[in-house]
Chains A and B, each alone.
Chain A
Amino acid sequence: MRDAGTGPYRAIFAARFLMMLQYRAAALAGIATQFWFGGIMVMALSAFYTEGGGSASITRAEAITYIWLGQAFLGLLPWNVDPEIAVMMRTGNVAYERLRPVDTYFYWFARAMAWRTAATLLRAIPLLLVTSVVFDWVGLGAWSLQPPQSGTALALFLLSMVAVVLLSSALTTLLNISVVWTISGQGINVFTNSLVLILSGMVIPLPLFPDWAHLMLLLQPLAGLVDIPYRIYFAHLSGAEAIAGIALQIFWTMLFIGLGHLCMTRTMRRIQIQGG
């Protein structure tokens, strides 16, 4: 059944978002971690560019930008299960979720979206500011985040980032639903963690993989989390290609929303809530 109005979903989004913003200590720790790992990855990549003989499909400055963007938006990666959902499953409080007069899938989708975006917002802003502006001031210009290729590239990049949020929320919700079967989210986290980091391009930018793998890597769903928007950012994908990239992101998002909705319906029909 389709609900009229999005009031309840907006409400749960806002509530979760505001609650997440309270975790300032976690955000500070996150920023420190991201600078550290970003720094190491930037230096390692630079070494490859200096020492390596072959020609790469993106320039050194672009690769560095790719890394910093990745670190800034790391929080958007759907690599783990929402601990709140895992606790709910363990305690049986998931019963109350089913007592809400809303579509449980979209209710969880809104919750996942709030969780991912709030965690990202707190980290992304300082990281982007420091790597783009402060690095230049203190003479680290060679390591800094480059501005987008053009105004059009920026606009398309922002559009693509909206698609990232939706794709990531759809994948996160799918992970959350799987907890109904496994009870603990630990096992899934271990598995998805490395899969998402590598296939999204977070560890090594996808354009730096061997040429024969490029098309496959671009078409698989996880490229839509990191690779597509960042290549739009420095106009590696522009015009029709950029639009196609965003369309691909939306295609995967719709597919995962459909799949998630189906899984939720099936799962809830077979759920067993004991005790109480």
Chain B
Amino acid sequence: MPQIAVQDLSKTYRVAERRRGLIGAGRGLFSRTHRAVEALKGVSFGLDRGELVGIIGPNGAGKSTLIKILCGILMPSSGHCEVDGLVPWDQRIRHVARIGVVFGQRTQLWWDLPVIDSFELLRDIYRVPEVSFRATAETLISLLRIDQLLHRPVRQLSLGQRMRCDIAAALLHSPSILFLDEPTIGLDANSKLALRDFIKHLNRHNGVTVILATHDMQDIGALAERVLIIGHGRILRDGSIAAMRADTPGQRRLVIDFSEDVGDITVEGATVLSRTGRRVAFAFDSRVTAAHTLIGRLTADHDIAELSIEEPTIEELIADFYASHGAVEA
């Protein structure tokens, strides 16, 4: 029995359309035209306890809608979903007591209060007993290194500091599932790395199920064993990044720094991707043309200063995938 079971979930928004200009605004007072926007069209999947799943997809694909339905904030138009045996939107109060949620672009901390006051307020709102609150808070404060920030009002924190405090806030009531919606948005490289380590730790050591929606493919590469790719309200793919790589085998890139100007160089078995000065990037399929054959052809005519062979990055894999499925925001 999976911890999260989603069946044929659909959500249609009714959006009022504004007409252009003054006359349009005037007509809008009497009649509005509505447009139906299908954010989700029949999404189904299951998720086991302790899994760490990434949800990716272009802007407007339906990621946030899916997360908000799973959190119990939104009601779907049709379909069914159970989280730990509860229907999120029907049994909202019991459901939300067991989950933690971080929306990277918002904060759940009280803007004018010192961080610790927000924590204590959340303790009371979630009815966390004092003893377990102290233990949990202490662990989170040291793992996220926020002890220096506790007595500062939230409005004075940097984005990275605020995000660490927000993550701690979402975990004070020891939820068994953590929803993260773009948690690393706007963070610097160090903060991102630290946050990823923390999420991994939480998943591996505490067995917290993590659902991570993001546009940051490095987040996905570092954390998610399983990835749901969503486009146009549907699940386009459900599997690991490694499996995706296996689907497009042989795609390689050869980057060469020539010792001389080579002009409009071409070579059999590869296409030129880019050319900057003496550096040329070629794309080739290693199953058709072996790398050493290609290098041999090139060194026959030119001197080479340096070369490297690369696999496609996750970003490229995903971008190709979106493009080949037409899953690009309109």
Chain A interface residues toward B at CB < 8 A: 1, 3, 5, 7-8, 10-12, 15, 19, 22, 91-93, 95-96, 98-103, 269-276
Please name 28 pairs of A and B residues whose Cβ atoms are closer than 8 Å in the assembled complex, sorted by A: A1-B91, A1-B94, A3-B93, A7-B127, A8-B126, A12-B121, A15-B110, A19-B110, A19-B113, A92-B106, A93-B106, A93-B107, A95-B106, A96-B106, A99-B72, A99-B73, A99-B101, A100-B96, A101-B93, A101-B97, A102-B93, A103-B93, A270-B75, A272-B74, A273-B68, A273-B73, A274-B13, A276-B181
B121 in contact with A5 (CB, 8 Å): no
Closest B-chain residue to A96, C-beta based? B108
Q: What residues on B are CB-neighbors of A272 within 8 Å?
A: 13, 74
Q: What residues on B are CB-neighbors of A275 within 8 Å?
A: 64, 105
Question: Which of A7, A98, A103 has the most B CB atoms < 10 Å from its CB?
Answer: A98
A276 in contact with B103 (CB, 8 Å): yes
What is the total of A-B residue contacts with beta carbons within 8 Å?
Answer: 81
Query: In the bound complex, how far is the Cα of B103 from the Cα of A96, in angstroms?
Result: 9
B105 in contact with A276 (CB, 8 Å): yes
Q: What residues on A are CB-neighbors of B55 within 8 Å?
A: none
Query: In the bound complex, how far is the Cα of B328 from the Cα of A18, in angstroms?
Result: 49
Taking A93-B107, A95-B106 as known contacts, 11 extra A-B pairs with beta carbons closer than 8 A to each other, sorted by chain A number, are A1-B93, A1-B94, A8-B127, A19-B110, A19-B112, A92-B106, A95-B103, A98-B96, A99-B73, A272-B13, A274-B13
Q: What residues on A are CB-neighbors of B93 within 8 Å?
A: 1, 3, 101-103
A5 in contact with B127 (CB, 8 Å): yes
B125 at the A/B interface (Cβ < 8 Å)? yes
Query: In the bound complex, how far is the Cα of B121 from the Cα of A272, in angstroms?
Result: 27
Q: What residues on A are CB-neighbors of B71 within 8 Å?
A: 98-99
B125 in contact with A12 (CB, 8 Å): yes
Q: What residues on B are CB-neighbors of A274 within 8 Å?
A: 13
Closest B-chain residue to A103, C-beta based? B93
Q: Which residues 147-184 of B have a CB within 8 angstroms of A?
A: 181-182
Query: In the bound complex, how far is the Cα of B91 from the Cα of A3, in angstroms?
Result: 12
